[in-house]
Structure 1
Amino acid sequence: MSGSERMRREAAPAWSIGREAGRRADAAELGQLFACGAALHPERIAVDDGRTRYTFRELEQISQRLAAALEARGVVCGDRVAILADKVALMPAIAVAIWICGAVYVPLDSEAPPARIERMLSRLRPRLVLSCRDVAPPEGHAGLSWAMLKEIASDPHAVRRTEPVGMTTDASAYIVFTSGSTGEPKGVEITVGSLLAYFKAHNEVLRFGPQSRVISFTPFHFDVSIEDTLLPLSLGAFVYQYRGIVVGPLIRNVLTRERITHMIAVSTVLTLISNPASSINRDALPELGMVMTGAEVCDPKIINLWKSRLPGCRVINAYGPTETTIVCLCHTINEPDEDRSSSYPIGKPLEGVEATILAEDGSEVADGVQGELCIGGIQVMRGYFDQPVENDKVLFERNGLRFYRTGDICFRERDGALVFVGRRDDEVKIAGKRVHLGEVRQTVMSLPSVDRVAIGLVERGDRPEIAIIIVSESATIIDHARCHLSRELPGYMRPAIWVHADKVALSATGKTDEKLLLSKVAAAAAESSEYSFTITGDGEVVPIAEVQHV
């Protein structure tokens, strides 16, 4: 053991829960992410995906073996390493192995259409592509298969790289792709300094510590996986990777069995867990001490339920675009507000984060006045990878501080808490996942027989669904568009409700009243279980099955 490693391990037991644990992440390199747990309780289980589990000692050693293997294949400081990610216990070790090499961690959705993956890889130009599924890395890209990764991880005699390459705070830590308004996904590039500042600032709220037990629902190609997996692991906490069906009783059983203390869930998942309300009680969830929701507006009744049924549990509403490093605002609900009909505030900025609300002319607005929320400070992204034009649209400097234009319309309450009102563009959230409807629209518009497209959200039951209206003379356009989108977009971005219209049926004036059309689609969808509709000559929206029957 080297002198530096001995000093690190001897110092580790002094790290404690809460504020001190948050500071620890600020001092450690990302390549030493498992050092705290490996020092405090090396044989304790660190991560469990329901099929595979690793102790902290195993995670640390596996990450070092994988780092040596990456280095042997030419990975050097600053290289990008892409991973076709899956919800597996090995993923945290892969991320840390990349950081040990001083490289950039780039998790991709392994279930995305191959054409979309290839477009992202062609832009990234990664040194290696790793696969966490039983599929080989895409042809033409050097990489490691899932079988090779598992073999390296399980070989106790494999070479290990125990000392991380030094990474400066302005080096890139990771790139996460989100839906883009241009028709192509945007690669949000976050620096080491931004990530470490986030670790420290957010843990002041989360209060992860060595005794915490965290459940993670998030796929690794979303940045929240860093919040609910890598951050707690860095503090010696246990993480359970939930891979099952998102069904309330199954999740509640896991919460009880695994003695979960911290849960982060988007409102869609939280709502499923909450039904029936009687299932949320201290007998079933004896150790749950924190529930955080965010990524989409949560019904205040759901938040009230958790706060009233578990009065000692901290319930937090969080906010943060991917561009501002995962989470940048938090609001703790101290008491349930049964009379509240509007959503709870999204909160106040974390340490090191500034929030301002600007009018159209760029001036700051007064309390209570709506404007665009802009986030500034160390957590703001470096930029969209290889998209300087897009960076110029959303990044600006104000009083010597870099800001990001969120596109969210908000106002500030008298106590300083910010309240979300809506979007200024066509970005929406589906089960917490960001979707730019413009990207879906442009992908459909690329089909030669499409004349026009209207797209938006409609409510069906208790959940929003993407509805798309395609104007085309082709009677089979919906089938063609569905097939096209299945090759180009991941499942969560594809419309659920499809509507066909010809030019005459859409508008006699040649103009599109999207709000009127979508309201008619919403009404038709609410009265039918069908997913394919047509607009008749008199402007009515009816299921295609009915037209075919007639």
Structure 2
Amino acid sequence: MKKGSANILMTILPLYSNDFVGRLQTALSIYGHRPAFCIQDTFYDYQQLAGKVNAVRQRLATVTDRYIGLVVQNDLTTYASILAIWMEGKCYVPLHPLQPLARCMDIISQVGIHTILDSSPSSRYPDEMVILTHDLPVFSSAMRPAVTFDAHREAYILFTSGSTGRPKGVPITFGCVASFIEALGSLGIHLTSDDHCLQMFDLTFDLSVGSFLPPLLAGACVYTVGLGGIKWQEVFRLLDSYELTATLMVPSVIHYLRPYMDEIEAPRLRYSLFCGEALMADDVVQWRAVVPQARIWNVYGPTENTIYCTSYELEGEILQHNGIVSIGSAMQHTQILIVDDQHRPVAPGETGELCLAGSQLTPGYWKNPEKNREAFFMKDGTRWYLTGDLCRQNSDGQILYVGRKDSQVKIQGYRIELSEIEGSAREFYHNQVATVALSIGSHGDEQLVLAIEDGDASQEKAITQYLKDYLPDYMIPNKVVFMKTFPQNANNKIDRRKIKALIE
């Protein structure tokens, strides 16, 4: 790949200025023939990206809707559509092309979407809603200015697993994203136009924004991983083939790569970040030996607080708890508090629920006042979010992750509400049987198991197919177990621990 000069953009605008949309537009105009994306081994430069952005903006010019559905394919047009939507001051709502149509239509209904951009040759959505973008005429790369930056408007709405059986929307404002970008700079992560940056996440996952946006602001090249397939294998290939310099990965990638560590060469890797699930010390020790020149961080953050918001840089001895690497301390623009069940701060060293506040925090769940009352509280004039993560803070202010407070689990970076799986399974049985969904196995080898009480084992294939019709692939149980009766605890409640022990 042809290398260019130093980061031109830094001499024009501060690297982490508030109006990141304006900065994106500047990047599109000045980086020209430098590579912007490598998608399925094909390179696209900033001029090509700018032309696609212009084409989509031209098509959106007559659309008055504020919230735009976006079918998120792994192609240049989809990424250009995100930038175009932002430059028009609108909000994108990602719709996964491989997730069940019923789930996506529920999202469309919840937001009230009337316009959907789809880069496929044809769409599964109603014709009157769809703008097909795959063959829009490409206009000149010169573009009109983006609309005035408004920090209070939504930049995107992501839908995560919901405890009621319906996905819940998390709106993130332009101001939230701007705060994240500035916080990233405060870590000392400064990308340039010579960087090769990994983007391994589906665009329905907020870590994707943290993977493609900072590189584009710096004129760097983004190397994407496609939909489906075995992602860790593709990451391995990209590391080897394209000399990546910056990576944000789920920790399970290096867990699966452990047998191949001796084969990995990544001499140009400068920044290596992990997020999305617990980072195990044993895994990262091996990784650090492979990339001794790289700075390595474990970062943490729920979707509700914009991508990630705490960080721990691995230097020297690794701070850990039960083999899990510390999630560090709050980044710029985030405040942390660890509380008991009455929202009172716990003493240092005591376990409590981690709470977050600051300018990266979502305004609240989309049209869900009941969930907002459960998840947010006011204390001394500050609005706090209850993460559901149990943590403790040591005397140096570093946060140690203990576990989940509720039934949510994270598997390969996906946050999964087990009760959503249980609810869908009960619907199959017309709510006549009890169901328990569990995550079993050690880190990196976790599996989802669905236990059904007094069900007909001959229906295993039928219930699995039913779940596939209503849930995304990563929520489909690896195994279905049928039990005559579920064990109960002293409170006459289903004893999940005993069920898990019986299954394991």
Superposed pair shares fold, TM > 0.5: yes
Tell me: CA distance 1:246–1:53, structure 2 relative to 1, closer, same or farther (3 Å): same
Q: 67, 70, 82: which is aligned to 1:95?
A: 82
Cα distance in structure 1, aligned partners of 2:272 and 2:203: 20
CA distance in structure 1 between the aligned counterparts of 2:408 and 2:303, rounded to whole angstroms: 13
One of 33, 43, 50 as aligned partner of 1:60: 50
Are the counterparts in 1 of residues 392 and 400 from structure 2 also a CA contact under 8 Å?
yes
RMSD, aligned CA: 2.5
**Partner of residue 205, structure 2:** 222
Query: Using the alignment, how far apart are the partners of 1:512 and 1:14 within structure 2?
Result: 59
- Structure 2 match to 1:3: none
Q: Distance in 2 between matches of 1:215 and 1:472?
A: 47
Q: CA deviation at 1:457?
A: 1.0
3-state SS in 2 of match to 1:184 = coil
**Equivalent of 2:473 in 481, 485, 491:** 491
- Aligned residue type for 1:298: L
> Counterpart of 1:188 in structure 2: which amino acid?
V
1:163 aligns to 2:145 (yes or no): yes
Q: Which residue of 1 aligns with 2:500?
A: 518
What amino acid maps onto 1:225 in structure 2? S
Distance in 2 between residues matched to 1:430 and 1:65, nearest whole Å:
38
Question: Is the alpha carbon distance of 1:461 and 1:218 closer, same or farther for their aligned partners in structure 2, counting shifts above 3 Å?
Answer: closer
The alpha-carbon deviation at position 431 of structure 1 amounts to 0.6
The one-letter amino acid of 1:24's match is L
Q: Could you tell me how far 1:336 is from its partner in structure 2? A: 5.0
SS in 2 for 1:63: helix
Tell me the alpha carbon deviations over residues 494-534 of structure 1, each in whole angstroms, 9 at most, x when there is no partner.
Answer: 1111011234x767998532211221111xxxxxxxxxxxx
Q: Which protein is bigger by CA-based radius of gyration? A: 1
Shift of 1:209: 2.5
Shift of the 137–71 alpha-carbon distance from structure 1 to 2, 3 Å rule, reads farther
Deviation at 1:31, TM superposition (A): 5.5
The structure 1 residue matched to 2:116, chosen from 116, 129, 146, is 129
Deviates more, 1:83-92 or 1:402-411: 83-92
Q: Which is further off, 360-369 or 350-359? A: 360-369
Cross-structure match for 1:105: 92
Q: Is the 8 A contact 1:75 1:101 kept in 2?
A: no
Q: Secondary structure, in 3 states, of the residue corresponding to 1:46? A: strand
Unaligned runs of 5+ in 2: 1-6
Q: 1:129 touches 1:137 (CA, 8 Å); kept in 2? A: no
Question: How far does residue 215 in structure 1 lie from its aligned partner after superposition?
Answer: 1.1
Alignment of 1:157-196 (within 5 A): 162-196=144-178
| Identity value in percent | 24
Name the CA distance, whole Å, in 1 between partners of 2:321 and 2:377. Answer: 36
- State whether residues 37 and 210 of structure 1, in contact with CA within 8 Å, keep that contact through their aligned partners in structure 2: no
Hey, what's the Cα distance between the residues in 2 that align with 1:118 and 1:338?
Answer: 44
User: What residue in structure 1 maps to residue 195 of structure 2?
Assistant: 212
Partners of 2:398 and 2:90 in 1: CA distance: 38
> SS in structure 1 opposite 2:134?
helix
Is 1:411 aligned with 2:392? Answer: yes
Q: Deviations over 1:124-160 (max 9, x none)?
A: 1113112233441512651112xxx1211x53479x8
Distance 1:313 1:127, change over 3 A: same
The SS at the match of 1:318 is: strand
1:257 alignment partner in structure 2: 241
Structure-1 residue corresponding to 2:230: 246
Distance 2:204 2:444 in 1: 27
| Aligned length in residues | 494
Q: Name the CA distance, whole Å, in 2 between partners of 1:460 and 1:373.
A: 24
Secondary structure at 2:74 match in 1: coil
1:24 to 15, 21, 36: 15
| d(CA) in 1 for partners of 2:291, 2:351 | 34
Is residue 4 of structure 2 the alignment partner of residue 15 of structure 1? no
Indicate how the Cα distance of structure 1 residues 461 and 435 shifts in structure 2: closer, same or farther if over 3 A, else same.
Answer: closer
Instruction: State whether residues 9 and 218 of structure 2, in contact with CA within 8 Å, keep that contact through their aligned partners in structure 1.
Output: no
Measured in 1, the distance between the counterparts of 2:57 and 2:262 equals 48
- Equivalent position amino acid for 2:456 in 1: S
Give the match for residue 32 of structure 2. Answer: 42
The superposition leaves residues 446-502 of structure 1 with CA deviations (integer Å, 9 ceiling, x where unpaired) of 232641112211117951111111123434342332122111100101111101123
AA aligned to 1:174 is Y
Matches within 5 A, 1:327-342: 327-337=308-318, 342=323
Q: CA deviation at 1:259?
A: 1.9
In structure 2, what residue type is equivalent to 1:235? Answer: A
Q: Equivalences for 1:383-532 in 2 at 5 Å? A: 383-447=364-428, 448=430, 450-459=432-441, 463-503=445-485, 512-522=494-504
- Residue in structure 2 matching 1:356, options 337, 348, 359: 337
Assess if the C-alpha contact under 8 Å between 2:333 and 2:359 holds in 1: yes
Are the aligned partners of 2:18 and 2:179 in contact in 1 as well (CA < 8 Å)?
no
The Cα of 1:238 is off from its aligned counterpart by 1.0
The alpha carbon displacement at 1:297 in A equals 0.9
Matches of 1:242 and 1:479, distance apart in 2: 31
**What 5-or-longer segments of structure 1 have no aligned partner?**
1-11, 523-550
CA displacement at 1:288 relative to structure 2: 0.7
Q: Could you tell which deviates more after superposition, 444-453 or 98-107?
A: 444-453
Deviation at 1:91, TM superposition (A): 2.2
| 2:120 corresponds to 1:138 | no
Structure 1 Cα separation of the partners of residues 501 and 120 of structure 2: 42
| Cα 1:513/1:340, change in 2 over 3 Å | closer
8 Å contact from structure 2 (residues 9, 15) kept in 1: no
1:128 aligned partner, one-letter code:
T
Is the Cα contact below 8 Å between 1:358 and 1:374 reproduced in 2?
Answer: yes
In 2, Cα distance between the equivalents of 1:291 and 1:407? 27
CA apart distance, 1:32 = 4.8
SS across alignment from 1:83: strand
Contact 2:54–2:140 under 8 Å retained in 1: no
For 2:101, which of 100, 111, 114 is the aligned residue?
A: 114
Q: Please give the alpha-carbon distance, in whole angstroms, between the structure 1 residues aligned to 2:99 and 2:196.
A: 31
Q: Which secondary structure does the structure 2 equivalent of 1:105 belong to?
A: strand
* Larger displacement relative to structure 2 (474-483 or 440-449): 474-483
